Every structure is written in C-alpha cells, then in structure tokens.
Amino acid sequence: MSTATNDAGGSRHRDPFVPQMYRVERVSRELADTVTLSLTPLAGQRPSFAPGQFNMLYAFGIGEVAISVSGDTAESAFVHTVRNVGAVSGAIEKLAPGSVIGLRGPFGTGWPVKEAEGSDVVVVAGGLGLAPLRPAIYAILANRALYGRVVILLGSRNPADILYRHQLEQWRQRLDVDIEVTVDHADRDWRGNVGVVPKLIPTATFDPHDAFGLICGPEVMMRFSVNALLNAGLPANRIYVSMERNMKCAIGLCGHCQFAGTFICKDGPVMRFDRIANIFVMREI
Ligand SMILES: Cc1cc2nc3c(=O)[nH]c(=O)nc-3n(C[C@H](O)[C@H](O)[C@H](O)COP(=O)(O)OP(=O)(O)OC[C@H]3O[C@@H](n4cnc5c(N)ncnc54)[C@H](O)[C@@H]3O)c2cc1C
Ligand code: FES
C-alpha cells in the first residue's frame, strides 16, 4: 500500500514536537458548533499533505487536539473543520481571524487516491466524517477522468446538521458524481432519504468488483458501512476506514493512540480494512 506516511510533506525537516505558528486567515461557520478555519504559517509555506492526514492544533494555554485536514491539497492554507466538543476544540472554535494558533504536522496515513485510479470510488461519510474525506474528494474531482464512477453517500443526524451543504449542492450540479444524502431524523421540509447511511449502499451504482470504499464517521456507522460494502461484493482490501483515538505525541512514541498492535497516529488514521478486521470490533484500549 502506498498511503502517505508521517514524513509526507515538509514535516520531516522540522522537530515534530515543536508547534509552528499559524495565523487564522478565515473562519467560516458550518454548523452551530462547527467552524472551518483557514490557517497560514507566520513564516514560510505550509508543508504538503496527503488527503486523510491530520495536524495537531494547539490552543495556547489550553491544549492540543488532532484535527484532520479538510481542505484542498492545491490550497496554500491548511483548512480544518472543527467541532466544539470540549475545552480545546471549544477554544479553537472561538478563534477569530487574525488569531495565532500552534500546529504540528501533518501526520498519519492518507486515503488511497492514487491506488483508486481506474476504479470506481464509493465515499461513505457520517456527519463530521465528511471533513477528512473532503481532500480526497477534491483530489478525485480534480482528476475526474482518471476514475470510474464516483459515488458520495452522506449520513447526517438531521437536515440542520448537514456539513458543507453548499458544496454538496455544487457537486450535485456535476453530471459525473452521484451524491445521496440521508438523515436519521427528517423535519417537515426534508424531501430526501431517511435512515442511516449504510442503507444507501445496496442501491448505489458502482462496480463492486472494481471499486474502492472510503469510509469515515462514528465507529458504529463505519462497521455497518464496511459490512454493507462487503455484502455488495467489495473485497476487504479495497475498503479503507479512518480511525480516531486519543492522541498525544502523534509520532508513535507515547502509546496513547494504541489500537491493539497498531498506533493510529502513524499506522493510521486511514487503515485498510483487511489489516484491522480482527480488531475493528474493539472499543478504545
Ligand atoms: C486522527 C483524528 C482526526 C480528527 N479529526 C477531527 C476533525 O477533523 N474535526 C474535529 O472536530 N475533530 C476531529 N477529531 C476529534 C478531536 O481530536 C476531538 O474532538 C478533540 O480531541 C476533543 O478534545 P477537547 O479537548 O475539545 O474535548 P475533550 O474534553 O477531550 O472531550 C470532550 C468530550 O467530547 C468527547 N469527544 C472527544 N472526541 C470526540 C469526537 N470526535 N466526537 C464527539 N465527541 C468527542 C469526549 O469523549 C468527551 O466526552 C479527530 C481525532 C483524531 C484522532
Ligand atoms: S499519539 Fe503517541 S503513539 Fe500515537
């Protein structure tokens, strides 16, 4: 597998423990508790990254959290979409343009964007799970002719929580991408699918014998999505999931992110399903 490794991008020349200073250039409100930040380095250029990799964002005096890159590899900024779930993510969600934040990275493995060339691609996202998948979608759409069918399936708790709503509408205008969105709980105005996202897989159009599955979302959603793709006929070695665990060092030293015999920070977060199938059912250890 040729997924990107820890030293993809310029990080190999830097001390991976020392945060670099980044300025918040832009803040876009996505949802009531979620923002997208564009970050540019105070000095030099941002390191390159592979779709699926993450950075450690440091809110000064509060702490550091792992956040996936959610922007385009072609952009000069690091773009991150952050949900406020606690002290650190809450501080980051409140940052205003012009603020300065610490950043280490990029770290971890990436989606199999290169390997999937020539094949169909089925992207399955649950809620905020669309954020780590978005750079892969950008990369695939930028080289659309290199891929077969491209299917994007998104599940959201309710219509108000649909992430990147405007972008989904833009992608939907294209004739070369199939997009289906489903919600767990519909409101009065919702005219779309209702139910969990794995239920969209059996009716999606792709060639199961020549397709890659890219899945990100809550673990229970990923388990059902993996099963639905396997049932559709996708081989386990063509299904990739992005795992989340508590991170501290992010470079394979502290053991905080241990997932049985693997470290999510360096062997993941993007992992090929057949390599973790036996431990995929385990809770955080
Ligand atoms: C590889 C990787 C990539 C990630 N990418 C993103 C991303 O793109 N955007 C993003 O917003 N977050 C992302 N996360 C999750 C993010 O790191 C956590 O939300 C963050 O560490 C929470 O820290 P905190 O101090 O704000 O909250 P804490 O005080 O640590 O946690 C507050 C509460 O939220 C719960 N919690 C922790 N993480 C999550 C979560 N992911 N979802 C829901 N509840 C949670 C905790 O169990 C706790 O109950 C990623 C995590 C990993 C490991
Ligand atoms: S976060 Fe320290 S080993 Fe992965």
Residue 13 banded pLDDT, cuts 50, 70, 90: low
What is the SS3 assignment for 83-127?
ECCCHHHHHHHCCCCCCEEEEEEEECCCCCCCCCCCCEEEEEEEH
What integer pLDDT is reported at residue 282 of this predicted model?
61
Ligand with minimal distance to 65 CA: 1
The predicted-structure confidence for 207-247, as pLDDT tens digits, reads as follows 999 999 999 999 999 999 999 999 999 999 999 999 988 89
Residues 51-74, mean pLDDT to the nearest whole number: 97
Closest CA to 105 of 190, 47, 171, 175: 47
Model confidence at 56: pLDDT above 50:
yes
pTM greater than 0.85: yes
Tell me the fold of 20-107: Elongation Factor Tu (Ef-tu); domain 3 (2.40.30)
How far does the centroid of ligand 1 lie from the alpha carbon of residue 92, in Å?
A: 12
Which residue among 244, 246, 254, 266 has the greatest number of ligand 1 atoms within 8 angstroms of its CB, and so is best to mutate?
244
Segments of the chain assigned to CATH 3.40.50.80: 120-280
How far does the centroid of ligand 2 lie from the alpha carbon of residue 96, in Å?
A: 30
Model confidence at 1: pLDDT above 80:
no
The predicted-structure confidence for 178-205, as pLDDT tens digits, reads as follows 999 999 999 999 999 999 999 999 999 9
Model confidence at 285: pLDDT above 50:
no
How far does the centroid of ligand 1 lie from the alpha carbon of residue 157, in Å?
A: 18
What tokens does 154 get?
């998104």
Residue 259 banded pLDDT, cuts 50, 70, 90: confident
Mean pLDDT (the chain) is 93
Segments of the chain assigned to CATH 2.40.30.10: 20-107
How far does the centroid of ligand 1 lie from the alpha carbon of residue 201, in Å?
A: 27
Ligand with minimal distance to 92 CA: 1
Q: Does the N-terminal peptide bond of residue 41 adopt cis geometry, omega within 30 degrees of 0?
A: no
Question: Which CATH class name applies to 120-280?
Answer: alpha beta
Q: Is 85 in the pocket of ligand 2 (CB under 6 A)?
A: no
What integer pLDDT is reported at residue 281 of this predicted model?
67
Q: What is the percentage of the chain residues whose pLDDT exceeds 90?
A: 88
Model confidence at 10: pLDDT above 50:
no
Residue 5 banded pLDDT, cuts 50, 70, 90: very low
